[in-house]
Amino acid sequence: METTVTAVGARTAAELRAARLATLPLVDMNPPEGFFRGAIHDWADIWVHRELLGQLMSREIKTRYKGSMLGMLWSFIKPLVMLLVYYVAVGQFLGAAKGIPGFGLYIFSGLSVWVLFSEIVQVSSMSILANAAIIKKIHLPREVFPLASLGPAVMNFTIQISLALVVGVFTGSITGRSLVVHLPLSVLVALVWAVALGLIVAAANVYFRDVGYLVEVGLMLGFWSLPVVYSWTMVSGKIGTVLQEIYLSNPITMAVMGIQKAIWGGNTTASYFPSHLGPRMLVALLVGLVALFCAQRVFSRLQADFAQEV
């Protein structure tokens, strides 16, 4: 009898809450806003949820190495294996190392910034789908899921670039001016463009699941379009001025060359790099900031139906 009364009381309370909710006005969780005002609102919302973003980054790092005996050592092993393959196959067998002194450090420095960029883009592309359960239940800025890919990518990059800096100091290939100017610009260019592209592919992959596969193919082609395992001199000597400018318009090309200049080429002749490398990188960064702003607005427009599509 007592149980029946309790059940009736609970049902009545639930009905009362439902009745009160029914009288409340509907609130649009994605209200239409101006282009610039909407961007300010969204970035402010991300800042409010910065603690959640930090927790997601920490979760990404822990999940990646969960159950692994070597743990964070994989941050060294993977790029070192890539370095060995490219050094032997491209450098020795195909002869690319003959024209590039210190070929190992040259490849490793370029690989570090490429892995940073590609890892953010690839992980971001699957971030919304991977967190479908959360997105369906909780309203929060969905940008935090692609942004969470920065955690493990930046951590791995920091480990790799620290090793490259040690080798660069030991070999004497680093100069203070080049390090101060080109290293931070290179990292910023890679991060800004990676986040911008990551937001786009993360949103697009919700509606078109082939995007994840296209990202993998695009990154594979993108790697070979960059002067990572070959030098700029090998490119400039085979294409005309117009094609050279088109080639240099790729911001990740600028990021790769910038970090190579900072770590490997501080004392090399200017022929290994295009003229005005610093200003070119600064332009790539400024354009990247505009691209990031636009990418976030596109993401914001597309996220309205995420919960229904994932």
For 193-213, letters b (16+ CB in 10 Å) and e give bbbbbbbbbbbbbbeeeebbe
Helix (H/G/I), strand (E/B), else coil: 100: coil
Phi, psi (degrees; rounded to nearest 5) at 283? -65, -45
Helix, strand, coil % over all residues of the chain, rounded to 5: 80, 0, 20
**DSSP characters over 38-67:** HHHHHHHHHHHTHHHHHHHHHHHHHHHHTT
Secondary structure in 3-state letters for 258-274:
HHHHHHCCCCCCHHHCC
Tokens 């890892």 correspond to 119
The secondary structure of residue 175, as a DSSP letter, is: -
**DSSP characters over 64-80:** HHTT-SSGGGHHHHHHH
Cβ partners under 8 Å of residue 289, min gap 6: 192
Helix (H/G/I), strand (E/B), else coil: 182: helix
Tens digit of pLDDT per residue, the chain (310 long)? 544 444 444 457 666 666 665 665 554 555 555 666 777 888 888 888 889 888 888 888 877 777 666 666 777 777 778 778 877 877 777 676 777 888 888 888 898 999 999 999 999 999 998 888 888 888 788 899 999 999 889 988 998 888 888 888 887 777 777 788 889 999 999 999 999 999 999 999 999 888 989 999 999 999 999 998 888 888 887 888 889 899 999 999 999 999 998 888 766 666 778 888 889 999 999 999 999 999 999 998 888 778 777 6
Cβ partners under 8 Å of residue 97, min gap 6: 87, 91, 103
Domain that holds residue 104: 55-309
> What local confidence, expressed as pLDDT, does residue 20 receive?
64
| Calpha distance 86→174 (Å, rounded) | 23
Q: Are 118 and 223 in contact (CB under 8 A)?
A: yes
Alpha carbon 257 to its chain's center = 18
Q: Are 225 and 114 in contact (CB under 8 A)?
A: no
The secondary structure of residue 90, as a DSSP letter, is: I
> What local confidence, expressed as pLDDT, does residue 145 receive?
92
Residue 19 counted as domain residue: no
Between helices 251-263 and 176-207, what is the axis angle to 10°?
150
Q: Hey, what are 223's tokens?
A: 């790697």
Phi, psi (degrees; rounded to nearest 5) at 90? -90, -45
Residue 117 counted as domain residue: yes
Q: Are 120 and 153 in contact (CB under 8 A)?
A: yes
What's at 301, amino acid-wise? Answer: R
Residue 265 counted as domain residue: yes
> What local confidence, expressed as pLDDT, does residue 197 receive?
96
Domains identified in the chain, total number: 1
Cβ partners under 8 Å of residue 48, min gap 6: none
